[in-house]
Amino acid sequence: MTDLYRVLPEEVDKLVTSMEQPRYRADQLLHMLYNEFPKDISSMRQLPAEMRNALSTAGYTIGSADEVHRVVSEDGQTTKLLLKLGDGTLIETVLMQYRKNKGRPRSTVCVSTQVGCQMGCTFCATGQMGFERNLKAEEIVAQVLHFASVLRERGEHVTNLVFMGMGEPLANYTETIRAVKLLTNARAFGLGQRHITISTVGVMKEIDRLADEDLQIGLAISLHAPNDELRRKLVPTAGPHSVGDLISATRSYFKKTGRRVTLEYALINGVNDSPEIAAELATLLKGNGAHVNLIPVNPTAGGFQRPRWKRITEFERILRESDVNCTVRVEKGSEISAACGQLRTDTAKNL
């Protein structure tokens, strides 16, 4: 069985030719997949019955990602879904919307790339869950399309995409990149490459490979600490890769792609949020040109707490005084288990 949502447009062309159908049928098929979101091949009525039958006979199918749970934050801007895949696996997908004045909102979908995660970050609910399996490209695409169809009913559309949900995207490199190609191809979903960010905890060899892909996507590296000793406590799988290695990876990614890397820093009360650590981070990054995203953590089962607001702004001030670009990104919707892995953990207890 092959899910049509994993077939790249150039492969669709070959498939249509092999079925002795005219070339325009390929465009028709792609248009239906990415604009009408059909649930099965038999509902694609614009295709001739002969072609629909040939697709089914050849083992093509359309997989399912069914919504089993939805929570919306009080301000209505964050929606978190629990989706059930064909094999019964549950994954999380989040929509975050930002509306400026009365204009159309920026609608960012945050997708998962794995079920669970083997990186084991100590402050992360997904990391504590362990690793089950990699998602396939079509299962990543399905998460985006699910929200695309929800948004279309409101006359809105997906504007941005971040690979920051459950899992380490670069540990599932091939399927992640295939999903990026499907979602950015103008004949498929057609999202601009510059509207996509992949977030990694630092799979070094894959960062280099990504830089060579000739893609204009953004990269975010989760740093979380200015020194190796503290980082290994938070990211136990950091292994032989030092903080220095990560900083040089940001430079070489920028050199090859022209795109600046964002450094993500989860701020955890009493762990990595002191003024001394802020000063150490400032020294490490001074003159580097990197942008730091400070993310006060949502409380998780690991017992980690978000710092008080005064401590967060002090950390930010110290970085800014050293001319390190930074912003504080408060993860929205802690009341809806917005941190990665939390909804699945919380909901699975009741399913």
Residue nearest to ligand SF4 (CB): 127
Q: Which two tokens stand for residue 107?
A: 């609608």
Please state the closest distance from residue 120 (CB atom) to ligand SF4, in A: 6
Active site residue 340: yes
Please state the closest distance from residue 121 (CB atom) to ligand SF4, in A: 3
Please state the closest distance from residue 329 (CB atom) to ligand SF4, in A: 14
| Three-point CA angle 190, 204, 93, nearest 5° | 40
Cβ neighbors of 29 (< 8 A, separation 6 or more) are 4, 12, 16, 44, 47
Please state the closest distance from residue 243 (CB atom) to ligand SF4, in A: 16
DSSP bridge partners of 106? 98
Nearer to ligand SF4, 168 or 175 (CB): 168
Please state the closest distance from residue 166 (CB atom) to ligand SF4, in A: 6
Measure the CA–CA gap between 307 and 176, rounded to whole angstroms. 33
Measure the CA–CA gap between 288 and 256, rounded to whole angstroms. 16
Q: Which two tokens stand for residue 70?
A: 């939805």
Q: Yes or no: say if 222 and 201 are a contact pair by the CB < 8 Å rule.
A: yes
Nearer to ligand SF4, 4 or 166 (CB): 166
Interface residues with ligand SF4 (CB under 6 A) are: 117, 119-121, 124, 126-127, 166-168, 201, 340
What DSSP character marks residue 330?
P
Q: Which of 110, 124, 326, 340 is catalytic?
A: 340
Nearer to ligand SF4, 236 or 270 (CB): 236
Nearer to ligand SF4, 121 or 249 (CB): 121
**What SS3 class is residue 20?**
coil
Nearer to ligand SF4, 222 or 250 (CB): 222
Q: Which of 36, 92, 168, 331 is catalytic?
A: 92
Tokens 């990211």 — which residue?
A: 235
- Cα-only R_g, the chain: 21
Active site residues: 92, 340
